[in-house]
A and B are shown apart, each in its own frame.
Chain A
C-alpha cells in the first residue's frame, strides 16, 4: 500500500533558528495521525509546509505520489486544511464564505448546493449561516473553518488544533466527526490536549524542537510510561494502614519493584520489568482484610510520557 502523504527530511529555517529539523513520516488512508508537542515545537510549521503555505528549506512532500512542491495546485486540490486559529474573511457570512470556497474548489451547481448543505448539517453551523463571521463565537469560527476544510471531501485532511476553543460537547462532536471520516481519508491533527490523542488518533508523533522524538500508537506511547502496568490501589475504612506499613507489606509481594504514594489516598505499586503483580497484590489485600476503594492496572499516563520525552534528556 502506498502512502497518501509522504514527508521526507523536511527542514524549515527562519534565519538562524531551525523550526523544523528533518521530519519524515507517512500517512496512509484510514490513519489519523496526531502531532503532539509543546508550543513552538514545529507542528504548525510542518503543516504549513505540507499544505504549501510555506516553502521548505529542504526536503520533500509527496501527495498521492505527486511532488507537492512541483505540482502545488494538484496537491492543494487533494488537501483540506484548517489553519491554526481557523482564519476566515471576517466580513463574510459562513454562507457566502462557503460559496467562495466551493467556487475556488470547482464545485458547481447541484453538487455545490449538496456539499454545502451536507457540511453545514454535519458541522452544525446552520443557525449562524447568515451572520458575519466576525460576530461569531470562537467555537463557531472554528467550525466554519472545519466546514471549509471538509467542503470538497478531500482525501487528505490537515487540521491544526481542530478542537481549540470548543466546549466539551463540541470537542466530543468534532472527535466523533474525525472518527466517522477516518476510514476514507488520511488525517493529520495537531493538538496539545493529551487525551485527544488516545481518543482520536491511530498513531501519534511527539515533536519537540523541530524533531520527531516519539512515533507510535497511543498504546505504544502509553507503554513508555513508567506507570504502564503498575497497580493503583486505594483503601478505605477506618482501620486502613498508614502508607509506611502499606509499603512494607506491598514490597514483599513477588515482582514488586517499588511503591509510591499517588495523591492523598492512593498508592501505586510498580512491577519489576514486565512482571504482573495484580494477583499478588489482590491476594495480599484479601489476606490482610483491606477494604478496597479502587484497584486497577494503570494503562500508562500520557502527560508523564509527554513530559519525559519533550523535556528531559
Chain B
C-alpha cells in the first residue's frame, strides 16, 4: 500500500514536472468546448443539460487518453527505469495500479476543470444535477477504461508511437463495438449471442445510457470490471516479460 502510494505520487507529480500536463489540460478544455458549442449546439438546443458536452467525450478520449497513457510503461522500458522500479521492493500489482491511478487522477483533474459548463447550465436553467453528477462519474469510469487499455498495451513495447497507435485502435473497437462498423463484420457468421456480447462491450452504448439519465449500476460495473481485467492483463504482461526468452 505504501509503495503504491509512493508510485502514485511520483507519477502524478511527473505529469506536472513537464509541459505535458498543461498542454493536455489546455487542449482538452479547448476541444471539449469546441465540440460542445459547435457540434453539440450547446446553446441552440435550449436545454439545461450537459448532453452536448458529454456526447462527444468518448471521441475526444479516444485520442487524448492513449496520448496520456502511451508513456506509462513504454517510457520506463525505453529509459531503463523499469529495471530500477522492478528491483525496488514494490510488487508488480502495486506498480501497475499506482501508475494507473496517477494517470487516472490526472485525467480526472482535467475532467473536473470542465466545471464551468456545469456552472453555466445551472445559471442559465435548472438542470438535473443528479444526471450531471452521474455523467461525470460515468465519464471518469470511461476514461479509466481507455486508460487501462492503453496502460496494458504500453507495457508491450518501448516505443510510445506504437503504444499510442495500437491503443487508439483497440479503444476505437471498444468505442464502436455497438455500431455497424463492428457488428456488420461479425453478424454475418457469428451466432446472435456473440453479436450481442460484442455489442455489449460498446463504450458508447454504456456511456450514452449513463448520460441519458438512466442510472443503471450495470453500466458502472461494466467500466469498472473492464478496468480490472485490462490492469490484470497488464500485470501478467510485466511478470511474463521477466521470464520471457
Contact = CB atoms under 8 A, between A and B. Distances in A.
Nearest to B83: A83
Contact of A76 (B7, B18, B89, B242): B89
Nearest to B81: A87
Interface in B73-125: 79-81, 83-84, 86-91
- The prevalent SS among residues of A at the interface is loop
Interface stretch (A52-60, A228-236, A239-247, A266-274): A52-60
A76 B94 CA distance: 15
B242 A54 contact: yes
Interface in A39-82: 48, 51-55, 57, 72-73, 76-77, 79, 81
Nearest to A160: B83
A104 B89 contact: yes
A57 B87 contact: no
Contacts of A87: 79-81, 83-84
A88 B86 CA distance: 13
B213 interface: no
Contacts of A104: 3, 6-7, 88-90
Interface string B2-21: 11001101100110011000
A90 B89 CA distance: 21
- Of the candidates B3, B79, B89, B243, the one having the most CB atoms from chain A within 10 angstroms of its own CB is B89
A88 B87 contact: no
B130 interface: no
A83 B88 contact: no
A225 to B, nearest CB: 36
A100 interface: yes
A191 B12 CA distance: 37
Contacts of B90: 73, 104
Contacts of A92: 10, 14, 17
A88 B17 CA distance: 15
Interface in A257-300: none
B91 A73 contact: yes
B245 interface: yes
Nearest to A96: B13
B157 to A, nearest CB: 18
A148 B85 CA distance: 12
Contacts of B9: 103
Contacts, number: 71
Contacts of A79: 87
Contacts of B7: 104
A15 interface: yes
A79 to B, nearest CB: 7
A205 B134 CA distance: 64
Contact of B88 (A15, A55, A96, A105): A105
A54 to B, nearest CB: 6
B87 A52 contact: yes
A205 B79 CA distance: 29
A81 B245 CA distance: 23
A57 B87 CA distance: 18
Given A91-B18, A104-B89, A105-B89, A148 B84 contact: yes
B17 A91 contact: yes
Nearest to A90: B79
Interface in A89-106: 89-92, 96, 100-101, 103-106
Nearest to B2: A106
B242 A55 contact: yes
B88 A76 contact: yes
Contacts of A14: 245
A229 B196 CA distance: 84
Contacts of A254: none
Contacts of A101: 88
Contacts of A85: 80
Nearest to A76: B89
B81 A89 contact: yes
A273 B132 CA distance: 92
A13 B245 contact: yes
Contacts of A106: 2, 89
A134 to B, nearest CB: 9
Contacts of B79: 87, 89-90
Contacts of B3: 104
A72 B87 CA distance: 9
B81 A88 contact: yes
Nearest to A74: B89
B78 to A, nearest CB: 10
A104 B3 CA distance: 5
Q: Which 10 A-B pairs have the closest CB atoms?
A: A87-B80, A55-B243, A76-B89, A103-B6, A51-B87, A55-B242, A83-B83, A77-B89, A87-B81, A91-B17
Given A55-B242, A91-B14, A103-B9, 6 more contacts: A52-B86, A89-B14, A91-B17, A103-B2, A103-B6, A104-B88
25 contacts: A15-B245, A48-B83, A53-B83, A54-B242, A55-B243, A73-B89, A73-B90, A76-B88, A83-B87, A84-B80, A87-B79, A87-B83, A87-B84, A88-B81, A91-B14, A91-B18, A96-B13, A100-B6, A101-B88, A103-B2, A103-B9, A104-B7, A105-B88, A105-B89, A106-B89
